[in-house]
Amino acid sequence: MLRVDSIDQLIVSQLVADARSSYAEIGKVVRLSAPAVKRRVDRLLDRGILRGFTAVVDAEALGWGTEAFVEVHCRGNISPGQIRQRLEPLAEVVAAYTVSGAADAIVHLRAADIHHLEDALERLRAVDIIDRTVSTVVLSTLLERSPAPEPHDTAH
Amino acid sequence: MLRVDSIDQLIVSQLVADARSSYAEIGKVVRLSAPAVKRRVDRLLDRGILRGFTAVVDAEALGWGTEAFVEVHCRGNISPGQIRQRLEPLAEVVAAYTVSGAADAIVHLRAADIHHLEDALERLRAVDIIDRTVSTVVLSTLLERSPAPEPHDTAH
DNA sequence: CCTGAAAAGTGAACGCC
DNA sequence: GGCGTTCACTTTTCAGG
């Protein structure tokens, strides 16, 4: 796996800021011709560093006004794959992670309103491998952003 | 504020799946001409339903291999704005929410490795308004996706 | 990196419920 | 009038040289 140089990082930043900007526009920032930028973007996609391009939607405007984080505690020893398989069919699950600590997983839920959230929680708790859940309702979003292209080393 | 009809929903889905697909390509799916699609996309952007377009980056490939969720407990009565203001300068904070329950906020952190995470947590705990934190390290990502364009009503 | 043909973006004019 | 379509024009893409 080859290096991602500083120009690649700048290209990624540009695309994170606006996935629809043209290669020429990116080229102006990184001082490269449009075809050169395209070749680098294609390579970043090939290598999986860029996974794709997506639209950022206002969940609230689309009617998903309520969200919650749910600690999930499972019965016995369950594999991550088993949890994933049971969570995937629930449309309200927007993210899920296995975690260290007391809980087995953290599930990020999105619902239309509190009633819909309650309904989603009920269906989540009905999953056979799930023992109990602890939910935390989100009151407001303070911040949401992509990580910088390179973690700047602060420790040295 | 006017309705988002089923064609708008389909357009949003298409753009979430691939933000770089052409208007003509989207038009083929929704059975509309390219200019008609562009007009709808512009309107969705104007209304804030579409907030923009971004690249999906593989955080791991870029060296952000470790993440954690941190419950933040503040001293006294702190406004969301004050919390936001203190979290914004920390590059490792990718998301933050005020929440109901015991904690005041949940912070989603991304770091290069455990050492970097420890360092970021130290700087987070050093924030003057923060009393104490409870962190949960992510072991694996099970699922990460956008909500569907329309919350299908399950309750009625 | 440059060049040129093909494709996409974009605004205007026009027609249809 | 809102919304879609076609047309004309510009910009961008993208495959060789």
Encoded tokens for A3: 């290096």
| DSSP H helix total and E strand total for chain A | 5, 5
pLDDT of amino acid B149: 78
* Chain A (78-137) residues lying within 8 Å, Cβ to Cβ, of chain B: 80, 83-84, 87-88, 91-101, 103, 105-106, 110-112, 115-116, 119, 136-137
Residues of B in contact with A61 (CB under 8 A): 4, 47-49
Q: Which residue is nearest to nucleotide D3 (CA to C1')?
A: B36
CA A108 to chain centre: 10
pLDDT category at A152 given cuts 50, 70, 90 is low
Maximal C-alpha separation, chain B: 57
Report the mean per-residue pLDDT for chain B: 93
d(CA B111, CA B90): 11
Question: Whole-number mean pLDDT of chain A?
Answer: 92
Domains present along chain A, CATH in parentheses? 6-46 (1.10.10.10), 66-137 (3.30.70.920)
pLDDT digits (tens, 9 = 90+) for B92-149: 999 999 999 999 999 999 999 999 999 999 999 999 999 999 999 999 999 999 888 7
What value does the mean pLDDT take over residues A42-69?
A: 94
In this predicted structure, the answer to whether residue A107 has a pLDDT above a threshold of 80 is yes
Residue A1's pLDDT is what?
55
Confidence of residue B37 (pLDDT cuts 50, 70, 90): very high
What is residue A155's predicted lDDT score, i.e. its pLDDT? 45
Give the closest residue to D14 (Cα–C1′).
A35
pLDDT computed for residue B156 by the predictor: 42
**What's this model's pTM, rounded to 2 decimal places?**
0.91
Taking alpha carbons only, the member of B43, B87, B138 closest to residue A96 is B138
CA A115 to C1' D15, whole Å: 55
B8 exposure class (CB count in 10 Å sphere: 0-12, 13-18, 19+): buried
How does residue B152 score in pLDDT terms, banded at 50, 70 and 90? low
Bases in strand D with any atom closer than 7 Å to a protein CB: 3-7, 11-16
Name every chain A residue with its beta carbon within 8 A of the beta carbon of B57.
12, 16, 49-51, 146-147, 149
User: Can you tell me whether residue A84 is helix, strand or coil?
Assistant: helix
What stretch of H or E contains A86? helix A80-87
The 10s digit of each residue's pLDDT in A110-147 is 999 999 999 999 999 999 999 999 999 999 999 999 88
Is the CB of A57 less than 8 angstroms away from the CB of B84? Answer: no
State the pLDDT at residue B68: 98
- Residue B51 binned pLDDT confidence (cut-offs 50, 70, 90): very high
Residue A106 reports pLDDT greater than 50: yes
